[in-house]
Amino acid sequence: MIPSTTLHVSGERFLATYVLSGPVEGARSRAEGICVEQTIEFPADLVPDDDIRRHVIGRVESFDVAGPETAVARISYAVETTGFELGQLLNVLFGNCSLYPGVRLTAVDLSPSLLRAFPGPRFGVPGLRRLLDAPTRPIFATALKPMGLSPEVLADIAATMARSGVDVIKDDHGLANQPFAPWEARVRACAAAVSKVNAVTGRRTLYMPSLNGPISEFHERARIARAAGAGGLLVLPGLTGMDSIRWLASDEAIGLPIMGHPAYLGANVASPVAGIEHGLMFGTFYRLAGADLTVFPSYGGRFSFTPDECRSIADACRRPMGSFPAIFPTPAGGMTLARVAEIRAFYGPDTALLVGGDLQRGDLAENTARIRAAVEERPA
Amino acid sequence: MIPSTTLHVSGERFLATYVLSGPVEGARSRAEGICVEQTIEFPADLVPDDDIRRHVIGRVESFDVAGPETAVARISYAVETTGFELGQLLNVLFGNCSLYPGVRLTAVDLSPSLLRAFPGPRFGVPGLRRLLDAPTRPIFATALKPMGLSPEVLADIAATMARSGVDVIKDDHGLANQPFAPWEARVRACAAAVSKVNAVTGRRTLYMPSLNGPISEFHERARIARAAGAGGLLVLPGLTGMDSIRWLASDEAIGLPIMGHPAYLGANVASPVAGIEHGLMFGTFYRLAGADLTVFPSYGGRFSFTPDECRSIADACRRPMGSFPAIFPTPAGGMTLARVAEIRAFYGPDTALLVGGDLQRGDLAENTARIRAAVEERPA
């Protein structure tokens, strides 16, 4: 038995919804197990009738049997368990119970003090629209590729893209620090090329280099990119951690829009009986960390997300969330000119359409101008 | 069509094995799709007959149908695609294809230059055995808990654990920077308490505080912990990124043993038709990053790993891997005194047994001494 403990807690709690798959008979006690696992991770019978029991252990707020093999538990946690830090918030929500069988985290209701603890998106939809001078239309994004080209050739491609009307040019998520195009040389060349075009066209194309490098150099690379004239930053939180987005978003001296990419995280959403719901993972968490755009593989491309899963991500980008602005869902993965109207109709105008390799099929400048025209068209 | 490109590449390649689930008719072309997706992510028909096609695009080295719904593809990649950085190595192995349906990464054969690019475990089994003066027996680890106790109470518990013979006391993975026990106050109190006991007993119990804080403070917290007398560091790469382990392992000035924890990563191994194989995820990758101990939920506890999955992790900790030492598999999650002999027989002596909350059931000092005696016993 541990000593009886008195704590100062606010009483404010946040909620997590878990879907428990498997025999419903044991589901209620599995939910109670999660309350313990995600907090004290300690035999509950060794805790006296004290404030740890009353406040620190999670609490089953509702429990419903939703099918022969499905139960839904809503569990609340004291905000203090998170220490108001993002990594620990995610840890309370899903750290150890990610290792349980048949547990999927499907929804989170954060409370006011938690939402205030994070800076959120610095730009979001309104801020990016101002930056890009694009008050209402969808944003047109593309990826600079392929890996293997030199900084000079990539910079030429970026210049053509900028000249022809792309709003956001992100590094392909696989461009890192390869000898073919070392990170700093590539970023300097591409940022300079895009800046030069912007000076001529008067447009404000944003070049967003990838920060998928050593985490020890993460902030320094962001600083170099900013000084070189980058217009934003691409972050792969599956590799650098979700909190790496928050690091940038909360740094006034960086102050650039952030695009989050889903690489390496797919298996976390893949199973209907494990992992994290799509909208929560790629919408809510990216937005909470401070991403202004969140890339995900759209339905109908070469990946596996369904229309409903994509809609869930888009909804999570937009629903009310403290004082955070909405952010841009950025469907990608097989987008083509032929699909612009359909994709726009599905996701609505507050969307960034990411057209990748297909842009370079035939004449890059022509293709780019055509998609720019398509995103500027008012839908019928 | 992109310009024809000449590259200087070494010709050295590394191998990844993917199990493709689903109709086998399309599996060969899915494997070829992965070769492109994980590298150039660009329409292959737009690449001329050049060095990008020859070297940068992945190559199917073997393809076998293993069952009516299962194919196995071994794909090689040029080492240069990784830029010799860990995040990008993981990205090439599984970044975008984590988002494909029915793809599981089951094995990796790294090549010499990649293994040389990373520092690997600074201590591993031989180094930790020297530090702990424990030449042959299993290591006895425990977790400091529960969340909600004050720094003083936690320090008292740590002192009792150290006095009674624990080798490694790690922070519970949920201890972060809660107001109940703010990170720095807690780490200073616990490190001091353990050091004081060590000075009396002559033993070398290692206290390993958790670095699950903001990534912006990650390195500074490691420095503070080291200065306060911590004997190692606990890292949760699901939250701070796998490269955060490498950051510490490669820093001479930190120079402490590192324990990796699996929190938040469970869904990546959960599905047999998605994600990453257990041994690869929690053995190979942690070891490659430089962890000296890797915690995972053992079979027979409250989690879901099978004996085979646990054995796969232990094997990955020990098989030959460049110049890296073996590391300690650290089975946890429901370990009890009653199971010490069984667990030891299953995993062998080069194992750290992590006994958690059960240690505090009844008399902590007695329980601890009993387990210490059990790990010192020569098996019959």
| Token pair of B107 as six digits | 């094995």
- CA gap B55, A5 in Å, rounded: 62
| Residue A33 vs residue B379, higher pLDDT | A33
Cβ-defined contact of A91 to B214 (cutoff 8 Å) = no
- Comparing B378 with B290, the larger pLDDT belongs to B290
CB neighbourhood size of A33 (10 A): 17
Instruction: For an interface test with A, give the residue of B19, B41, B186 to mutate (most A CBs within 10 A).
Output: B41
Which residues, in sequence order, are bridge partners of residue B15?
A: B76, B109
**Which residue's structure tokens are 């994980």?**
B38
Say if residues A187 and A229 touch (Cβ distance below 8 Å): no
β pairing state of A206-208 and A103-109 = unpaired
- Cα atoms in the Cβ-side hemisphere of radius 13 Å centred on B76: 12
Q: Whole-angstrom Cα distance, residue A64 to residue A259?
A: 37
Distance CA A366, CA B312 (A): 53
Q: How many CB pairs under 8 A join A and B?
A: 345
φ, ψ dihedrals at B17, nearest 5°: -110, 125
Residue A122 near residue A250, CB atoms below 8 Å: no
Residue A119 amino acid letter: P
Residue whose entry in the numeric block shows the structure tokens 């009307």? A165
What pLDDT, on the 0 to 100 scale, is given for residue A378?
81
- Res A271: pLDDT: 94
Separation between Cα atoms, residue A178 and residue B82, nearest integer Å:
6
Chain center to CA of B284: 7
ipTM of the complex: 0.98
In sign, the C-alpha dihedral spanning A89, A95, A96, A97 is positive
Sheet containing B70-78: give its strands across: B59-67, B70-78, B13-21, B103-109, B275-276
- Written as six digits, the tokens of A7 are 């704590």
Least confident range of A70-84, A237-251, B233-247, B296-310: B296-310
Nearest Cβ partner of B265 from A5, A98, A242?
A98
What is the number of other CB atoms lying within 10 angstroms of the CB of residue B269? 28
Task: Give the DSSP H or E segment for A94.
Answer: helix A86-94
Rg (CA), chain A: 22
Nearest to B46 among A95, A215, A361 (CB): A361
Chain B residues 113-152 with a CB less than 8 Å from chain A:
143, 145-150
pLDDT at A358: 87
CA torsion sign for A35, A40, A41, A46 is: negative
Query: How are strands ordered across the β-sheet holding A352-355?
Result: A206-208, A168-171, A139-144, A352-355
Q: Band of the pLDDT at B304, cuts 50, 70, 90?
A: confident
Q: What is the pLDDT along chain A (380 residues), one digit of tens a residue?
A: 899 999 999 999 999 999 999 999 999 999 999 999 999 999 999 999 999 999 999 999 999 999 999 999 999 999 999 999 999 999 999 999 999 999 999 999 999 999 999 999 999 999 999 999 999 999 999 999 999 999 999 999 999 999 999 999 999 999 999 999 999 999 999 999 999 999 999 999 999 999 999 999 999 999 999 999 999 999 999 999 999 999 999 999 999 999 999 999 999 999 999 999 999 999 999 999 999 999 999 999 888 899 999 999 999 999 999 999 999 999 998 888 889 999 999 999 999 999 998 899 999 999 999 999 999 988 76
Give the residue from chain A lying closest to B217, CA to CA: A247
Q: Which amino acid is located at B273 in the chain?
A: V
DSSP state string for B266-324: THHHH-TTSEE-HHIIIIIHHHHHT-SEEEEEPTTSSS---HHHHHHHHHHHHS--TTP
Residue of A nearest to B264 (CA): A95
CA-based nearest distance B268→chain A, Å: 5
- Strands annotated E in chain A: 13-21, 59-67, 70-78, 103-109, 139-144, 168-171, 206-208, 233-235, 258-260, 275-276, 293-297, 328-332, 352-355
How many CB atoms are located within 10 Å of the residue A309 CB? 19
pLDDT, chain B, mean:
96
List the single best residue of B152, B243, B354 to mutate versus A (max A Cβ within 10 A). B243
Q: What is the mean pLDDT of residues B303-314?
A: 95
Q: What is the pTM of this model?
A: 0.98
Asked whether the predicted pLDDT for residue B149 surpasses 80, the reply is yes
E strand or H helix that includes residue A113: helix A112-117
At B380, the pLDDT band (50, 70, 90 cuts) reads: low
Chain A residues closer than 8 Å to B313 by CB:
none
Q: Are the C-beta atoms of residues A101 and B272 closer than 8 Å to each other? A: no
Contact A2 B46 (CB under 8 A): no
Helix (H, G, I), strand (E, B) or coil at A245: helix
pLDDT of amino acid B379: 73
A267 touches chain B (CB under 8 A): yes
Q: What are phi and psi of A276, to 5 degrees?
A: -125, 140
Do the Cβ atoms of A21 and A102 come closer than 8 Å? yes
Strand pairing partners for A70? A21, A67
* DSSP labels, B326-378: P-EEEEESS--GGGHHHHHHHH-SS-EEEE-GGGGSS-HHHHHHHHHHHHHSP
Could A56 and B183 be called an inter-chain contact, meaning their C-beta atoms sit closer than 8 Å? no
Listed by number, the residues of chain A in 80-99 with a beta carbon closer than 8 Å to a beta carbon of chain B are 80-88, 90-92, 94-99
Taking residue B3's Cβ as centre, other Cβ atoms within 10 Å add up to 12
* pLDDT score of A380: 67
Q: Which one of B89, B147, B221, B236 would you mutate to disrupt binding with A, by most A Cβ within 10 Å of its Cβ?
A: B147
User: With contact defined as beta carbons under 8 Å apart, do A30 and B136 qualify?
Assistant: no
